[in-house]
Amino acid sequence: MADERNDVLLDLRDVRVRFPGPKAVYPVDGVSLDIRPGETLGLVGESGSGKSMTSLAIMGLIAKQGGAVTGGNIYFKGRDLLALSDREMMDVRGREISMIFQEPMTSLNPVYTIGDQIVEAIRAHALPEGGRMPKRQAWDRAVEMLARVGIPSPEKRASSWPHLLSGGMRQRAMIAMALSLDPELLIADEPTTALDVTIQAQILELIGELKAARRMSVLLITHNLGIVAEIADRVAVMYTGRILEIAPTVDLFRRPLHPYTRGLMESIPRMDRTVKELAAIPGMVPPIDALPPGCAFSPRCPLAEARCRQAVPPLEDAGNGHKSRCLRWRDLVADKGGAA
Amino acid sequence: MTPPSGQENGKLLDVRDLTVHFPVRSGLLQRVTGQVKAVDGVSFALERGETLGLVGESGCGKSTTARAVLRLIPVTAGSVRFRGEDLLAMEGETLRKARSGFQMVFQDPYASLNPRMTVAEIVGEPLFNTGAAKSRSDRDERVATILPQVGLDASCLRRYPFEFSGGQRQRIGIARALVVSPDLVVLDEPVSALDVSVQAQVINLLAELRERLRLTYLFVAHDLSVVKHISDRVAVMYLGRIVELASRDDLFDAPMHPYTVSLLSAVPVPDPRNKSKRIVLSSDVPSPLNPPSGCHFHPRCPKAMDICSREDPPPIQGSGAHEASCWLYAQQNRHPIQKE
């Protein structure tokens, strides 16, 4: 696919997030990525990789966590979100960019009915023609959204309190709320991690349908490579605040060009194959305040050499939109390894 | 398979018609107004040296089954025989001593270790409880022997849980279970709280310990890929009952019960060229407070017949053959209790 700059919805360039402390840390350290209209980008990583912090930076919610975006630009439809006032950013959130979280119970207010919360979300934003949507109309819209996400008897459910809904239904209600203002970008942070696998299948199906119906873009944050393989168009792999690899999904799984990505793929037990022993990655993710010099994955990497520890490797273009932050990615091209 | 140990033809654990009901209280006087049939007539057996995976979605009763088998919660009815002895008849001192034969590893390595106890105290606790150690020096010696077996340094003895990562904490939990040299280890979601790259390390450790110490595992998990990797046989639970029990390969290659079929199809496979055809089940799991009549799965079952809502399908016997508790198969083999 040709790289058309003007056909980009969201464009992160070298974004840096800093958290103060005895020693300042950078949970997001120079992240660049873009999402096109209608595209689903999977952002994969383990805990501490900075994948959730990246999404909070896009939403302008880093300050609430006690940190600050100290570098880079976040362009949304050509506008730099980092230059917007709090008021302007509030309007972007919800109407243009919406977010759903892992645990729907903690994101829903327990003392308001589902319908009231969706009405509030709708009425928090001015209509394009000015003014707020009347309450009655907003309520009807809330009921319509609940129906669209597959909640049975939506009129009744709109008057329910969150605790009366099952986990799957709550996540649907969250999605209904997130989509009530017809956003162009949906950020889904581990949207199915707290759900059972049959309910997960329902939610993934739902996100796919809604995406196709509205040409909505999705930034899907997850640790689950299976989910990414099923619904992402492209995938970015993060580790200690940096993107180590980014590629079209099929290419990433067919031929991962970073030893970490390859390690992740080989270490997970899979339904479609049986192995005697899992190829575990040795060691563990280093704490963000004690990163090793150079490539942060080098202490766990089977391919590491002396030069890997000297400087952080650049994210190199391997062609076809496939980029790797490994000095030895060419060796991985030659090696017919990886998953499947 | 390891040879049977002589006296009791290989069966280490034999569970028959296990039933666990919890009373539901309501109203001002907290009267008992109903029963949750968390485990509703479950039968299975474990041979020495084998691993039985117990899978199902939240609320299916898999963890309750595991806890009931170990006498951690009261059993309503049924029998549990361990090394041929009736576990449910044991009380007090006898039960405490018998506990050295069966131990448990819990899911959350953060919640299951007392933060104010040292590693020596945590891991050594079962030694005192079962009367296997008499003094602290005795205990420390045994703990120092077990730690290297789970990949921890014996110098950790005086350290506290907060000093360890999630993966290391789970190793401490495993050491605590193994310190009394049990025959049976019940593992309740032992890797689901761990990061992907650490998960593989712990799974490999569990497999290695099983070989080396000739352990028998009851492995409770919701992650089907993990269960497939580690188990010899697999039991699938749904709303308090086992619906299918078979060898690992039979269950994953040729599932019989419609619930198992849809459950397996819902697992996303990390291969974008091989997108699974999901069978998306409609609606949620019904409440165990008020389970559907007949086969509990019939309201969601794509193959439900008349009889399914009227009569319970024949239960799983735990015979060792590939069994499904489903009228689709029951009618071929035996006559339904009453044909109209």
Cα A189 from Cα A101, distance rounded (Å)? 5
Nearest chain B residue (CA) to A277: B204
What is the structure's pLDDT at B332?
54
**Domain positions in chain A:** 7-96+183-340, 113-181
Asked if B264 lies within 8 A of A271 by C-beta distance, the reply is yes
Nearest chain A residue (CA) to B271: A229
Q: Which of B167, B262, B270 sits opposite A229 (nearest CB)?
A: B270
pTM: 0.88
Tokens 């089940």 found at: B281
Task: Answer whether B250 touches A (CB < 8 Å).
Answer: no
What are the residues whose beta carbons fall under 8 Å from the beta carbon of B163, sequence distance 6 or more? none
Interface of B with A in 26-45 (CB under 8 A): none
* pLDDT tens track for A281-328: 998 889 888 999 999 999 999 999 999 999 999 999 999 999 999 999
Secondary element (H or E) of residue B19: strand B11-26
> What is the pLDDT averaged over residues B306-324?
92
> What is the pLDDT averaged over residues B220-230?
95
Structure tokens at B280: 């998306």
A279: left (phi over 0), alpha (psi -120 to 50) or beta: beta
Exposure b/e, B86-95, CB count within 10 A at least 16 = b: ebbebeeeee
> What is the pLDDT averaged over residues B186-209?
93
What is the structure's pLDDT at A272?
86
Task: Answer whether B261 touches A (CB < 8 Å).
Answer: no
* pLDDT tens track for A216-274: 999 999 999 999 999 999 999 999 999 999 999 999 999 999 999 999 999 999 988 88
Interface of A with B in 20-79 (CB under 8 A): 46-47
Cα B226 from Cα A238, distance rounded (Å)? 24
Q: Which of B57, B196, B280 sits opposite A268 (nearest CB)?
A: B196
> What is the pLDDT averaged over residues B168-194?
94
What is the structure's pLDDT at B276?
64
Instruction: Give B3's pLDDT tier (boundaries 50, 70, 90).
Output: very low
Angle between helices A167-179 and A197-214 (to 10 degrees): 10
- How many residues are given for chain A? 340
Q: What Cα–Cα distance (Å) separates residue B236 from each residue in A12, A339, B296, B313, B314?
A: 45, 28, 13, 15, 15
**Domain positions in chain B:** 11-83+183-333
Asked if A223 lies within 8 A of B263 by C-beta distance, the reply is no
The more confident residue out of A94 and A18 is: A18
Task: Answer whether A280 touches B (CB < 8 Å).
Answer: yes
Asked if A46 lies within 8 A of B196 by C-beta distance, the reply is yes
Asked if B270 lies within 8 A of A270 by C-beta distance, the reply is yes
What are the residues whose beta carbons fall under 8 Å from the beta carbon of A149, sequence distance 6 or more? A172, A173, A175, A176, A179, A206, A210
Task: Answer whether B179 touches A (CB < 8 Å).
Answer: no
Q: Are A215 and A38 in contact (CB under 8 A)?
A: yes
Nearest chain B residue (CA) to A233: B272
Nearest chain A residue (CA) to B151: A283
What is the structure's pLDDT at A8?
94
Task: Answer whether B229 touches A (CB < 8 Å).
Answer: yes
Asked if B197 lies within 8 A of A229 by C-beta distance, the reply is no
The superfamily in CATH containing domain A7-96+183-340 is P-loop containing nucleotide triphosphate hydrolases (3.40.50.300)
Q: Does domain B11-83+183-333 have CATH number 3.40.50.300?
A: yes
